[in-house]
């Protein structure tokens, strides 16, 4: 089959936040002819218009019901928050046509993905475990993807026809998710450690000494720049990261290792996200001061 023959002509997004917008804005000549999106925020009058406007900005037909979004589509990109992935599969399964590829791009525990797969497969769909392995901006549809599950070959052919960047991770649903989840123990955990270390150092008035010691121990890391970046990630994306890290904790717990570090990371991510999304100046101390000015007293 040619690449063009693998390209789906009717595609739907379930969820249309940052990830969905990034993919839709990246597709050029590979763009599906019928591209739709449904987001649960469209059911609320206060948030509906903003979602409809976002869809229009990216040339996507916004749908006010999940049923209309999924009618006769051949591929679905499920890009909701991690805590809503299973609910999205439950709602979408009765509405999809037989053979529909359900790309579950959410950052979920392998067990959560396997439960979602059972729902989609029982309805005649083809479930695909997708792990998005870097921020969607600036790469957009070229963001690296890990693909797992029994339909991986067909999934990779379809994604390739959409000019995307899939890599096969195995035939078992949950394998791609495991790689993403366990990587996040380190990536998001370092963000949380950054917050606890530098906020405490700033409040104690020993930030220069702490950074100097870190630079002496590990000079390959630009600690000021990295710290400012990590705090910005938590301020802007902490809510989504917290939901992901709760799934990471579940992943580690399912492996018999408790998941305590991941659970603590989720707490820090959620805490800083709740302070507001405006990250302020691109400077470690300015961001630390902004967070400390908003942070309520914390005790164990």
Task: Tell me how far apart the alpha carbons of residues 5 and 17 are, in angstroms, rounded to a whole number.
Answer: 29
Task: Tell me how far apart the alpha carbons of residues 110 and 62 are, in angstroms, rounded to a whole number.
Answer: 30
Both 190 and 103 in one domain: the answer is no
In a domain, 233, yes or no: yes
Residue 297: the pLDDT is: 87
Whether the Cβ atoms of residue 34 and residue 9 lie closer than 8 Å to each other:
yes
Q: For residue 11, what are the domain limits? A: 3-173
Residue 3: the pLDDT is: 53
Last residue of a domain, one of 120, 148, 173: 173
Q: Are strands 165-170 and 144-148 parallel, antiparallel or unpaired?
A: parallel
Query: Residue 264 maps to which CATH number?
Result: 1.10.1040.10
Global pTM value:
0.89
Q: How many CB atoms lie within 10 A of CB 215?
A: 14
Query: Residue 98 maps to which CATH number?
Result: 3.40.50.720
State whether residue 129 is helix, strand or coil.
strand
Whether the Cβ atoms of residue 48 and residue 54 lie closer than 8 Å to each other:
no
What are the structure tokens assigned to 111, written together? 């067990």
**Ranges under pLDDT 50 in the chain:** 1-2
Identify which of 189, 197, 174 has the alpha carbon closest to the alpha carbon of residue 262.
Answer: 189
- Residue labelled with tokens 């990830």: 19
What are the structure tokens assigned to 228, written together? 């400012």
Number of domains in the chain: 2
Last residue of a domain, one of 152, 173, 194: 173
Last residue of a domain, one of 156, 173, 190: 173
Task: Tell me how far apart the alpha carbons of residues 245 and 109 are, in angstroms, rounded to a whole number.
Answer: 9
Task: Tell me how far apart the alpha carbons of residues 194 and 227 are, in angstroms, rounded to a whole number.
Answer: 6
Integer-rounded Cα radius of gyration of the chain: 20
What are the structure tokens assigned to 139, written together? 């790469």
């Amino acid at each position: 089959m040619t690449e063009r023959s693998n390209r789906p002509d009717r595609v739907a997004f379930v969820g249309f936040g940052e990830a969905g917008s990034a993919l839709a804005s990246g597709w050029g000549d590979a763009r599906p002819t019928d591209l739709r999106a449904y987001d649960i925020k469209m059911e609320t009058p206060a948030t509906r218009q903003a979602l409809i406007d976002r869809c229009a900005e990216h040339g996507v037909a916004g749908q006010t019901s999940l049923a209309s979004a999924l009618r006769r589509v051949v591929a679905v990109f499920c890009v909701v928050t991690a805590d809503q992935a299973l609910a999205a599969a439950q709602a979408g399964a009765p509405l999809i046509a037989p053979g529909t590829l359900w790309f579950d791009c959410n950052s979920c525990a392998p067990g959560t993905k396997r439960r979602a797969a059972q729902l989609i497969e029982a309805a005649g769909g083809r479930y695909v475990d997708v792990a998005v392995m870097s921020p969607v901006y600036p790469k957009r549809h070229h963001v690296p993807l890990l693909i797992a599950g029994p339909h991986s070959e067909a999934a990779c052919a379809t994604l390739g026809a959409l000019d995307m960047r899939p890599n096969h991770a195995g035939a078992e649903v949950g394998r791609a998710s495991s790689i993403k989840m366990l990587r996040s123990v380190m990536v998001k955990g370092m963000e949380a450690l950054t917050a606890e270390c530098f906020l405490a150092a700033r409040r104690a008035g020993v930030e220069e000494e702490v950074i100097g010691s870190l630079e002496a121990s590990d000079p390959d890391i630009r600690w000021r720049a990295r710290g400012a970046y990590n705090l910005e990630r938590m301020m802007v994306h902490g809510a989504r990261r917290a939901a992901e890290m709760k799934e990471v904790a579940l992943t580690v717990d399912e492996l018999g290792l408790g998941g305590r570090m991941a659970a603590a990371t989720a707490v820090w991510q959620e805490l800083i996200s709740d302070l507001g999304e405006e990250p302020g100046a691109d400077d470690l101390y300015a961001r630390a001061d902004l967070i400390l000015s908003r942070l309520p007293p914390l005790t164990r």
